[in-house]
């Protein structure tokens, strides 16, 4: 969702069917819906039968419950139910007499991201979604999700708008940092486990943005073209795997069009693929501002209009009631919509384990700091190392340059922005309003290094490349922190580091060849200075404990084990669309197109393999301070798949973890099936293994 989308309608324009303040006074009734021995299906069926028509309509209509006068010119121009939380993303009134709680919704996938008004709540931020995917660890993803779900629950929220699943088709996408990479298996496994962790707290998690939402430019109107088969073998496969693993109770449909129809009124996406083919029992909610109709949307499979104030009209309020009365939407369809919503609340335990308001004083801050730090440590990818890392204990002078490393680490912008204790925006950097503010978390890599080494560690802000180069001269090692801020509502123009940072790195490396570069980026970047530096670490957006994690990896307390979840192109010319489709200057009345059939399911490394292109760094790549060897590979048919076994040995002198990646390909190039494959090979399985020096598993 986005606070910059229009807020058009006055309270008078909304024909309300029902609100719950009166219901809160009603005595709770009992019935089959309250029988915990029954299945969620049976309880939901009973609850809907007991509902009035007004109550059914109430279940499918959501408010933007934030007191958003700060974003609407100081005038509150939409209904704000008084029982909604003032800093939540959304609110759906409950039905007290049936024991059905209200739905209090909050963003997003890296932590509890409350709105800014009146004052943002301070919560723990995980590393970016792309960073968590770089861990290649389902257990780490689950732990992070469980942490998010716990903080959401203790903050009074029972719906987490998490589970970002859009594959990285477009490396310039401003929201790539929220997602889980370019491969459907990796993305599905990682995000599915995060969702499972969130819902272990008896709250609802979404998965989003369904589907094929690969760029922010013209995101409200762009029409992406793709055939059924490649869609099901790429983006939809990622969603399917995440659904099978995590069982999200809700799916958020996207802004964009797919093959001519908006995602939130797309019969093929919602009714055919999601509900019929996959058997999804939960409810489809719209993104905020993604509902465009009443009859078409309801009949195509949208179950709940979310944040109605962002839409042109309250489509699922009075208009839906009228459509049902006139037979344009069947009564059975409305019943199904309401049933899916309450089924989600029963299935996750949100009904039987209701949230109890703000209990944030009981949050385990120290424990959650460890969770996010572990995630960050496992996500760091060592891309190059000519022996500079880990930092030598004999070093006497270390110069740290740029990236506000004296203060903290960067985070991504937009609705997923988590506000954390001590976080800061630096004047003149990035927008102050949405998708900003550009925020740094108070976890200083500089201080982390200073506490871990006997060397003199000094800082230069890097704003003047000449001064930085001069400061680098004579140092035993130089560490340049380079940042790239990305966020919701915009795509980056290219893959170069912004603010002349490429020139900064080149100048420093020329002055001192013992230069380490630490990247804090939202996705892939090009590195024109790569051959001039001694080491490169991709740290992504590493979360509220990111500075400590970076310092531990650089000093060798932690052996880097991250692997790239996305290909780093050598140039945009290597990608399917060197020039981004659409134009940010176009308004919402335009309908630009993007042809995803160019690459089809051959996203990322598959495209590079298919075209015989050499990337800057390939998918799955990452170095270690140790070395590993594999042996004894075996494979045997196992039902519809194969069971693959391999022995992995740590042949180095340092404990560490490695990621075994198994790729599959047609038996021969002449195999009849090979012609239908999207690329020469696919990721078929992976496993992360921790090994002591000399140990085998």
- Which residues are marked as active site? 287
To 5 degrees, how large is the angle CA 680–CA 613–CA 580? 105
Collapse the DSSP code of 226 into the 3-class scheme (helix H, G, I; strand E, B; otherwise coil) and give the result: coil
Q: CB of 110 within 8 A of CB of 163?
A: no
Collapse the DSSP code of 334 into the 3-class scheme (helix H, G, I; strand E, B; otherwise coil) and give the result: helix
- Cα Rg for the chain, rounded, in angstroms? 25
β-pair partners for 519: 482, 538
Instruction: Map tokens 């069982």 to a residue.
Output: 247
Rounded alpha-carbon distances, angstroms, from residue 223 to 256, 266, 363? 6, 12, 43
- Two tokens, residue 95: 């039905």
- Two tokens, residue 557: 């307390």
Q: What is the Cα–Cα distance from 368 to 382, expressed in whole angstroms? A: 25
Rounded alpha-carbon distances, angstroms, from residue 69 to 63, 75, 107, 436? 15, 5, 19, 17
β-pair partners for 459: 400
70-92 exposure pattern, b = at least 16 Cβ within 10 A, e = fewer: eeeeeeeebbbbeebbebbbbbb
Collapse the DSSP code of 523 into the 3-class scheme (helix H, G, I; strand E, B; otherwise coil) and give the result: coil
Nearest C-alpha neighbor of 176 from the set 474, 525, 502: 525
The DSSP line for 139-194 is HHHHHHHHHHHHHHHHTT--EEE--B----S-TT-TTGGGS--S-HHHHHHHHHHH
Q: What is the Cα–Cα distance from 81 to 84, expressed in whole angstroms? A: 6
The dihedral through the CA atoms of 212, 214, 216, 222 has a sign that is negative
Phi-psi region of 474 (alpha: psi -120 to 50; beta: other; left: phi over 0): left
Angle, helices 40-50 vs 331-348, to 10°: value is 130
Are β-strands 223-225 and 257-258 bridged in parallel, bridged antiparallel, or unpaired? parallel
β-pair partners for 381: 538
Nearest C-alpha neighbor of 558 from the set 572, 573, 542: 542
Nearest C-alpha neighbor of 129 from the set 511, 604, 541, 486: 541
Residues 6 or more apart whose Cβ sits within 8 Å of residue 338: 48, 51, 55, 56, 57, 59, 60
Residues 6 or more apart whose Cβ sits within 8 Å of residue 538: 134, 380, 381, 383, 519, 521, 562, 564
Indicate the DSSP class of residue 582.
S
Strand residue runs (E) in 484-552: 515-520, 535-538
Rounded alpha-carbon distances, angstroms, from residue 374 to 131, 132, 259, 391, 422? 11, 10, 41, 20, 20
């Amino acid at each position: 969702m986005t606070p910059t989308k229009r807020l058009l309608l006055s309270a008078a324009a909304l024909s309300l069917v029902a609100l719950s303040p009166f219901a809160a006074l009603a005595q709770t009734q009992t019935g089959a819906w309250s029988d915990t021995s029954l299945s969620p299906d049976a309880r939901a069926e009973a609850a809907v039968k007991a509902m009035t028509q007004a109550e059914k309509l109430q279940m499918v209509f959501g408010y933007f419950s934030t007191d958003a006068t700060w974003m609407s010119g100081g005038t509150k121009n939409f209904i704000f139910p008084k029982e909604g939380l003032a800093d939540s993303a959304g609110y759906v009134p409950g039905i007290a007499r049936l024991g059905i709680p209200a739905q209090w919704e909050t963003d997003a996938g890296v932590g509890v991201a409350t709105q800014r008004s009146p004052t943002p709540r301070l919560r723990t931020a995980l590393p970016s979604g792309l960073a968590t995917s770089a861990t290649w660890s389902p257990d780490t993803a689950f732990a992070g999700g469980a942490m998010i779900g716990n903080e959401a629950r203790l903050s009074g929220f029972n719906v987490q708008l998490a589970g970002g699943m859009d594959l990285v088709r477009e490396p310039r996408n401003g929201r790539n940092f929220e997602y889980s990479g370019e491969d459907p298996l990796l993305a599905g496994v990682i995000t599915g486990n995060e969702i499972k962790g969130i819902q272990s707290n008896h709250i609802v998690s979404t998965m989003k943005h369904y589907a094929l939402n690969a760029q922010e430019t013209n995101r409200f109107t762009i029409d992406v073209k793709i055939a059924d088969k490649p869609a099901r073998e790429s983006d939809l496969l990622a969603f399917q795997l995440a659904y099978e693993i995590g069982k999200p109770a809700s799916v958020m449909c996207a802004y964009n069009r797919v093959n001519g129809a908006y995602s939130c009124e797309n019969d093929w996406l919602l009714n055919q693929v999601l509900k019929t083919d996959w058997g999804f029992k939960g409810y489809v909610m719209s993104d905020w501002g993604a509902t465009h109709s009443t009859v078409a949307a309801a009949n195509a499979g949208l179950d709940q209009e979310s944040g109605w104030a962002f839409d042109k009209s309250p489509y699922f309020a009075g208009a839906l009631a009228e459509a049902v009365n006139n037979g344009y939407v069947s009564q059975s369809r409305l019943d199904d919509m309401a049933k899916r919503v309450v089924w989600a609340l029963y299935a996750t335990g949100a009904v039987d384990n209701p949230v109890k308001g703000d209990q944030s004083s009981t949050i385990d801050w120290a424990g959650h700091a460890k969770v996010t730090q572990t995630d960050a440590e496992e996500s760091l990818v060592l891309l190059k190392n000519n022996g500079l890392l880990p930092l030598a204990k004999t070093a006497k002078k270390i110069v740290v340059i740029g990236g506000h490393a004296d203060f903290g680490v960067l985070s991504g912008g937009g609705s997923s922005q988590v506000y954390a204790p001590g976080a800061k925006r630096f004047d003149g950097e990035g927008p102050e309003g949405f998708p900003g503010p550009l925020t740094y978390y108070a976890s200083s890599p500089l201080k982390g290094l200073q506490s871990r080494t006997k060397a003199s560690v000094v800082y230069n802000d890097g704003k003047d490349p000449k001064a930085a180069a001069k400061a680098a001269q004579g140092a035993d090692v130089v560490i340049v922190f380079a940042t790239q801020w990305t966020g919701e509502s915009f795509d980056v123009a290219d893959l170069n580091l912004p603010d002349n940072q490429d020139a900064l790195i080149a100048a420093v490396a020329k002055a001192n060849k013992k230069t380490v570069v630490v990247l804090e980026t939202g996705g892939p970047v090009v590195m024109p200075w790569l051959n001039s530096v001694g080491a490169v670490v991709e740290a992504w957006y590493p979360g509220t404990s990111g500075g400590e994690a970076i310092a531990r990896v650089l000093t060798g307390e932690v052996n880097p084990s991250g692997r790239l979840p996305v290909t780093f192109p050598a140039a945009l010319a290597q990608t399917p669309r060197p020039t981004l489709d659409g134009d940010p200057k176009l308004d919402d009345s335009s309908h630009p197109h993007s042809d995803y059939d160019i690459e089809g399911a051959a996203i990322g490394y598959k495209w590079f393999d298919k075209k015989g292109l050499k990337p800057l760094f390939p998918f799955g790549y990452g170095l270690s301070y140790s070395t590993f060897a594999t042996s004894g590979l075996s494979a045997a048919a196992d039902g519809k798949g194969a069971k693959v076994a391999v022995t992995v040995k740590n042949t180095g002198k340092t404990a560490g973890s490695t990621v075994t990646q198994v790729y599959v390909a047609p038996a021969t190039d002449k195999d009849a099936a090979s012609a239908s494959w999207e690329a020469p090979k696919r990721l078929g399985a992976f496993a992360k293994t921790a090994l002591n020096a000399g140990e085998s598993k």
